[in-house]
Structure 1
Amino acid sequence: MSDPQTSRQSGILARIERAGNRLPDPAFIFIWLMLVVVAISVLASFFGVQAVHPTQQMDDGSPLIIEAASLLSAENIQRLLVEMPTTFTHFHPMGYVLVVMLGAGVAERSGLFGAVMSRAVKRAPMALLTPVVALLAMVGNLAADAAYVVLIPLAGVIFAAAGRHPVAGIAAGFAGVSGGFSANLLPGQLDALLFGVTEAAVDTLDSSWVMNIAGNWYFIAVMTLIYLPVIWYLTDKVIEPRLGRYQPADGDDTAAAMAEPTSSEVPETIDERENAGMRRAGITALLVILAWVGMCFAPGTPLINEGAGPATMQPFYQSLVAGFFILFLASGWAYGSASGSVKSHRDVVRMMSEAMADLSYYLVLAFAAAHFVAMFNWSNLGLIFAINGAGVIQSANLPLPILMTLIIMLTASINLFIGSASAKWALLAPVLVPMLMLLGISPEMATAAYRVGDGATNIITPLMPYFPLILTFCQRWDRNFGLGSLAATMIPYSIWMLVTGMILAVIWVAAGLPLGPGVGTTYELLQP
């Protein structure tokens, strides 16, 4: 829990927090939102709200019309009731979360996480804790979904071990992984996904254009370096002071368990067991990592899709969820067998069961969130909003700096309703990319501008699939931490990452800086 005598009790963020926390439980908020979407869908369907899909056509070659669908239609009512089990079980983050947390439960309850983090924190400069967490989070989004369920909760553990507020660590990790989703030091699978969509959009004007997966490399690397001090400053100077001094709740000895015992408090044999456990866990972790690397080079290369071009490494990235599960399970078991916390396989099963018990509230939230997201998609309201919003920008005929700013704002706004980065770009690219090419802006710069807006509002929308999970992580450390608390905590990150990202994009276009190897911001359409 936090010390109540803090600045958290005043200011605009405090008002947002109090207003948000007065709302019903997030699970019931999703239920109310479902009712709102149902009402809007009925009205939109009645008035014939529609949009022309920018890429798809009917079988006869005529444009595909996307029409608002009433959620009270017989078809959608049937879909809701018949598909309810699969809607829940197929909720995008569900499998990732459950699989990783099974392994993480063993690593945590065996004492491995506490021992590793306690030692690492004591040896690291405290002044650099926040930027290290933020940088690892941004680089870690190469692992996509695995970063959400591994790095973010670990950031809370690291901060707790350092005697700092664990929710501040979760906020810094969340801002890096999700707010900085498009920022990185290296291109990854997101670049392959986005540029694949860009290439299809470019083909309408220039079939000779060739996709370069490193086409945004310089831009996203600089964006990482800009976001790093933003997250650092906001975490240390704004967020953590609001949260106050962390004080574990009665019966919550998690933070205390993170601290490394001194020789005067614990018998020497226990310290020796811990050292033996650390060595055994380290050897086990190394073997798991070598096995994963080996599967990238062994005959048949099971984790490499040879001949897939930019998607060559995609099986490896997608396997990281299973990799983290095995890594945590094996290392935790190895540590516990040496330290004495795991005496048999029954202890391992018990630890995994306890980890699932900790996720019980998240499962309730996920059930409500999964159905809200599904119903919103069934109504077609998100698609119509995205297509029509892009059309408005196209017809505005504004100066390039203003146009780039509006495109980023449009992306950030749409991101509040449609979470998938590739799905949004698939809708926006067919309009925005050719439009900017005709105005002299390269497809790579159009993609870069989209990326700025795509990440900044991830951290403030409950429609983001992992938003309920982050709330669950926070409530582990602060039981009174509500939806308003999470929104108030993440809004400063969202605003400043959006503002700095927009400034970066405008400066990049104005200065004509290279976006990647052999890639510039300008484009000249060659006449046939």
Structure 2
Amino acid sequence: MTEPQPAGTGKAQPPAPKRNAFTRFLDTVEWLGNLLPHPVTLFFLLAAGMVLLSGLFGWLGVAVDDPRPVGAAGRADDGMIRAVSLLSADGVRRIFSSLVTNFTSFAPLGVVLTAMLGIGVAEKSGVLSAAVRGMVLGASKNVVTVVIVFAGVMSNTASELGYVVLIPMAGAVYYSLGRHPLAGMAAAFAGVSGGYSANLLIGTIDPLLAGITEEAARLIDPTYAVTATANWYFAAASTLVVTAVGWAVSTYIVEPKLGAYNPDDADPTALDGAAASPLTAIEKKGLKVTGLVLLGVLAVMLLSVVPSWGILRDPVTGDAMRSPFFSGFAVWILLFFLAMGWAYGKVVGTIKNDRDVIDGMAKSLGSLGLYLVIIFFAAQFVAFFNWSNLGSITAVKGAQTLEALGLTGPVVFIGFILICCMVNLMIGSASAQWAMTAPIFVPMLMLLGYSPELIQAAYRIGDSTTNIITPMMSYFGLILAWAVRYDKKVGIGTMIAMMLPYSIFFTIVWTIFFFVWVFALGMPVGPGAPTFYSIG
């Protein structure tokens, strides 16, 4: 933005830069997004609105035929699904008696809190930062872009690590190599945020989304269970796809468009010491010891489920997929990161005793204050939606509409993914968006014959690919602030224009890969995860 000239200087104001159609579109997106209230307020309004709507539809006697077979759990004797008023005396009593348990029994809550205990210890020890630095700084100039995008994808396992460590580091690495630092930041941002739903490992977002999906699926099937590993196979394979696309877009579109870097464009103090510090000898030793410890944890994991006598197989059927191993996978996340943090911290001296471990856990949970507030109101909205039967009614009506239009085949997922892309422009939180839309789309697509696990995998494509072009994404402002240090002229429009090619190609290629993986190759999206769902 051009600063105004002091009065009396006689200097003419420079003309305002021309605003093209794309810039105006970005302004519109930002304006619409700014109209949305805070996620906490949004879920409060949705929950309150659900109570009012249930009263209206209950008074009108809205009902639909229940598509579930006779005798199915939750099916009424008359075969109808009726709107239930929460404004009735029974409804008000149910709200007051269940408000606390709605929150404490919300499926994602316990899993996320458990996983974050281990991640907190790993962050306290410094092993996550060291691993990322070792991966990026150890790469040659020819493969550094591939490594940065891949490291960005993998950093999603550890919450905000990629945003606060990898993205600024990537800019410093590119600058030290004589390349445009914004190109490095763009590649890292693409991996961290655009590839948010791809990973070789299970991260905190997996149990969170699985819990929300499970709650939504139970509107149709009250006994349905979704595990944290529901999308593991597809997410792992997607890691390679996202890395390849991110590298290609960086190499052939973004970096050539940015051109040669002019240090004169930077903030005068931004480039002082702009270099990522290499690993020290003690840090390298810590990573080696950590690797050995993790091999031990992996061996224990395999012994608990691979042999026929594995203690975490289903004790009745002996099944390895539908077993305590996968239903309790959050415990493995806890042990995995706890072992990482303890081993590395003991070597480098960041973890000296049990108090350091406890401090890491406490700090990690302390950072979840806003998340807990959001989840409290999201849990009420989901519960009210369930009690009112409006979710089931909407699902049945939506499924009937799609059938009438002939949109029951796999092509329905193209529209679903694009809808998720658009909603994500306004609501940057993956869990907040899914808590709002899952109760509608999961039952609807289940009635068309698709499994909740498959629906969740498709949602995650739409949720990830537009993260990098919306100012509503919580870290967008922080990344913009780092970019301005390298180029004073960078604004929101510049950032979005730079990231838009990633968003476009991620959406197209990832959607095609989804169809090839699921419908052409017939591959499951996760361990024990079906592709199709049959009522009854």
TM-score range, shorter chain: 0.5 to 0.7
SS in structure 2 at match of 1:55: coil
SS in structure 2 at match of 1:162: helix
For 1:66, the equivalent position in structure 2 comes to: 81
For 2:486, the equivalent position in structure 1 comes to: none
Q: Distance in 2 between matches of 1:221 and 1:326?
A: 21
Are residue 162 (structure 1) and residue 170 (structure 2) matched? yes
Q: Distance in 2 between matches of 1:387 and 1:34?
A: 21
For 2:351, the equivalent position in structure 1 comes to: 342
Q: Cα offset for 1:10?
A: 3.5
Alignment of 1:40-439 (within 5 A): 40-57=53-70, 63-124=78-139, 125-129=143-147, 132=150, 150=157, 153-156=160-163, 157-163=165-171, 165=185, 168-176=190-198, 259-261=276-278, 271-297=280-306, 300-305=309-314, 308=317, 312=321, 314-396=323-405, 404-406=410-412, 409=415, 428-429=445-446, 432-433=448-449
Q: Deviations over 1:114-158 (max 9, x none)?
A: 111110111243221465358769xxxxxxxxxx7x255454344
For 1:19, the equivalent position in structure 2 comes to: 32
Q: What value does the CA root-mean-square deviation take over the aligned residues? A: 5.3
One-letter amino acid of the structure 2 residue matched with residue 405 of structure 1: V
Q: Cα offset for 1:358?
A: 1.2
For residues 501 and 387 of structure 1, do their structure 2 counterparts lie closer, same or farther at Cα, with a shift above 3 Å needed?
A: farther
2:127–2:345 CA contact under 8 A, matched in 1: yes
Q: Distance in 2 between matches of 1:132 and 1:355?
A: 25
SS in structure 1 at match of 2:411: helix
Q: Cα offset for 1:284?
A: 2.0
Q: Cα offset for 1:57?
A: 3.0
1:51–1:66 CA contact under 8 A, matched in 2: yes
For residues 25 and 39 of structure 1, do their structure 2 counterparts lie closer, same or farther at Cα, with a shift above 3 Å needed?
A: same
Q: Cα offset for 1:493?
A: 8.3
Q: Deviations over 1:265-303 (max 9, x none)?
A: xxxxxx343233223322222221211112124673122
| 5+ long unaligned stretches in structure 2 | 1-16, 172-183, 204-209, 222-230, 259-272, 424-432, 483-491, 525-536
For residues 406 and 347 of structure 1, do their structure 2 counterparts lie closer, same or farther at Cα, with a shift above 3 Å needed?
A: closer
One-letter amino acid of the structure 1 residue matched with residue 196 of structure 2: F
Q: Distance in 2 between matches of 1:384 and 1:235?
A: 46
For residues 45 and 491 of structure 1, do their structure 2 counterparts lie closer, same or farther at Cα, with a shift above 3 Å needed?
A: farther
Q: Which has the higher contact order (CA 8 A, sep 6+)?
A: 1
Are residue 29 (structure 1) and residue 29 (structure 2) matched? no
Q: Distance in 1 between matches of 2:346 and 2:520?
A: 55
Q: Cα offset for 1:389?
A: 1.5
Q: Distance in 1 between matches of 2:371 and 2:515?
A: 40
Q: Cα offset for 1:218?
A: 12
Q: Deviations over 1:389-411 (max 9, x none)?
A: 1112333458x9xx653475369
2:395–2:443 CA contact under 8 A, matched in 1: no
1:49–1:67 CA contact under 8 A, matched in 2: yes
One-letter amino acid of the structure 1 residue matched with residue 51 of structure 2: V
One-letter amino acid of the structure 1 residue matched with residue 109 of structure 2: M
Q: Cα offset for 1:161?
A: 3.9
For residues 222 and 274 of structure 1, do their structure 2 counterparts lie closer, same or farther at Cα, with a shift above 3 Å needed?
A: closer
Q: Cα offset for 1:113?
A: 1.0
One-letter amino acid of the structure 1 residue matched with residue 43 of structure 2: F
For residues 231 and 92 of structure 1, do their structure 2 counterparts lie closer, same or farther at Cα, with a shift above 3 Å needed?
A: farther
1:296–1:302 CA contact under 8 A, matched in 2: yes
Q: Cα offset for 1:65?
A: 1.1
Q: Deviations over 1:2-38 (max 9, x none)?
A: xxx9x9x944244323432343321111112222222
Q: Deviations over 1:183-241 (max 9, x none)?
A: xxxxxx99xx9xx99xx9xxxxxxxxxxxxxxx99999998877666666789978xx9
For residues 19 and 92 of structure 1, do their structure 2 counterparts lie closer, same or farther at Cα, with a shift above 3 Å needed?
A: same
Q: Distance in 1 between matches of 2:481 and 2:40?
A: 16
Q: Distance in 2 between matches of 1:226 and 1:381?
A: 38
Q: Distance in 1 between matches of 2:132 and 2:117?
A: 19
Alignment size in residue pairs: 419
SS in structure 2 at match of 1:66: strand
| 5+ long unaligned stretches in structure 1 | 138-147, 182-188, 201-215, 243-255, 263-270, 434-442, 463-469, 518-528
For residues 406 and 337 of structure 1, do their structure 2 counterparts lie closer, same or farther at Cα, with a shift above 3 Å needed?
A: closer
Q: Distance in 1 between matches of 2:319 and 2:307?
A: 20
Q: Distance in 2 between matches of 1:461 and 1:261?
A: 33
For residues 282 and 301 of structure 1, do their structure 2 counterparts lie closer, same or farther at Cα, with a shift above 3 Å needed?
A: same
For 2:3, the equivalent position in structure 1 comes to: none
**TM-score, scaled to structure 1:** 0.62
SS in structure 1 at match of 2:65: strand
Q: Deviations over 1:359-379 (max 9, x none)?
A: 112111111222122222222
SS in structure 2 at match of 1:51: strand
Q: Deviations over 1:294-343 (max 9, x none)?
A: 21246731222377587636433334321121121122122222212122
For residues 132 and 219 of structure 1, do their structure 2 counterparts lie closer, same or farther at Cα, with a shift above 3 Å needed?
A: closer
2:392–2:443 CA contact under 8 A, matched in 1: no
1:280–1:334 CA contact under 8 A, matched in 2: yes
Q: Distance in 2 between matches of 1:507 and 1:120?
A: 31
Q: Deviations over 1:479-526 (max 9, x none)?
A: 99xxx99xx9999989877766777799999xx966469xxxxxxxxx
One-letter amino acid of the structure 2 residue matched with residue 35 of structure 1: A
SS in structure 1 at match of 2:64: strand
